[in-house]
Amino acid sequence: MQTLDVAIVGGGPAGSSCAAFCALACLRTLVLEREKFPREKVCGDCLNPSCWPVLERLGVAQRVRDLPHSKLAAVEFLGIDGRKVIVDLPSGDDCELSVKRSLFDALLLKHARELGAHVREETTVTALAHDENWKIETASGESFFARTLIGADGRNSTVARLCNLLPRPARERVALQAHIPLPRNFGRRIVLQLLPEGYSGQAPVNETELNLCLVGAPPTISRLRQWAERHFEVPADQPWRTITPLTRLPVPCAHENLLFIGDAARVVEPFTGEGIYYALRSGELGANAIVKIIHGDDRKSALNEFTHAYAEMYRGRLWINRLARTAVLSPGVASLLVRLSPLSPMVMRLLTAKIAVPANDK
Ligand SMILES: Cc1cc2nc3c(=O)[nH]c(=O)nc-3n(C[C@H](O)[C@H](O)[C@H](O)COP(=O)(O)OP(=O)(O)OC[C@H]3O[C@@H](n4cnc5c(N)ncnc54)[C@H](O)[C@@H]3O)c2cc1C
């Protein structure tokens, strides 16, 4: 059987971005994806403006803009007591945009395939062995061989688990997500609403649907769901998608012939809406490193460069994650922030600008 240059486990934004960049560099690239696309995913569906430069370099930005979407004009922070702070988002072509993950992820995976990556859907990786090359085994009993391996399989990464690298998750919270009918006059805004039991994120994803996310602790998540059923007149039999954990320690991103990218490497607080950017960009950085390794450049310096660029991607942004996490774990504190007028609009604007302004990552 042919030995591939790179096998990528997971065809979400991280895996597809990495596969597309590897294929662009003419590497023999394979993506193994558990699901059949298109598939939905627990996500707020919001594309941070930082994503655009990576999507441009991938050559897929216009096709993303052509998908059914909503252009988002503002973020509204709503405290427990109903007080709100509204912060405008950047406008124009590189604005914050929401698009269903079923559409976005399927487009990215298709793009990687068009650039020459081999993609196997409905293929779950279950075992790994490593000598000179990687042997990757799947649930259906197939085996693949590759010189390098990428773990792009999300927050509960099988690759990290099989390599004994997956940190024990803090199962302190759980997220629920559904697409529901768009309430009349909702407008082009993201609502981040703090509630006694956790928080809710809401954003229109097209002319008719609202993405509704709920984040809370397992014992109280059913109360959040009941709140949503009342507030949005959601029927009790509404199907909800669910995911956990929302927080865990990072997995070291670079190993000898193995890299981790996207959520598999590091999970960020959903409140900040930045996970897709980190997935796309780390996919690009991972591809740069793999191309160097396959072309025979010095492996150690390629891995050091990747680790450095990877850390750089988060520099100056992780404190916002920590702040967001502190705020959402104690909604009373966050509500106080919203209430501290006139200081809070300034603070909120600062935070939003930090999150929603394109990163300088070339
Ligand atoms: C409630 C919530 C709201 C969020 N809202 C936003 C938002 O609005 N904006 C934003 O930017 N980010 C948001 N995020 C974060 C964002 O969803 C993630 O950061 C992003 O999906 C990470 O992409 P990824 O490609 O690393 O992983 P994933 O998107 O999780 O993709 C991993 C892929 O790997 C596949 N896979 C898993 N195991 C295997 C296996 N064993 N074999 C083969 N394939 C496998 C899965 O099927 C999946 O397709 C949110 C997260 C949550 C929880």
Atom of ligand 1 nearest to the CA of 13: 25
Asked whether residue 342 is domain-assigned, the answer is no
Give the tens place of pLDDT for each residue, 123-182. Answer: 999 999 999 999 999 999 999 999 999 999 999 999 999 999 999 877 678 999 999 999
Q: From the CA of 10, how far away is ligand 1's center (Å)?
A: 9
106 assigned to some structural domain = yes
- Domain assignment present for residue 301? The answer is yes
Least confident of 137-141, 303-307, 315-319: 315-319
Counting the structural domains of the chain, the total is: 1
- The reply to whether 179 falls in a domain is no
Residue 74, in any domain of the structure? no
Single-letter code of the amino acid located at 239: P
Question: Is residue 177 one of the residues assigned to a domain?
Answer: no
The model's pTM is 0.94
Q: Which residues line ligand 1 (CB under 6 A)?
A: 9-15, 32-35, 41-46, 48, 124-125, 152-154, 158, 175, 177, 213, 215, 243, 246, 262-264, 270, 273-277, 279
Residue 128 lies in a domain: yes
Range of the domain at 269: 3-43+54-68+100-170+247-318
Task: Give the type of residue at 187.
Answer: G
pLDDT at position 297: 96
CATH of the domain at 303: 3.50.50.60
| Residue 327 CA, ligand 1 centroid: distance in Å | 23
Q: What is the pLDDT of residues 257-295, one digit of tens each?
A: 999 999 999 998 887 788 999 999 999 999 999 999 999
The ligand 1 atom nearest the CA atom of 14: 25
Determine, yes or no, domain membership for 196.
no
Nearest-atom number in ligand 1 for the CA of 263 is 26
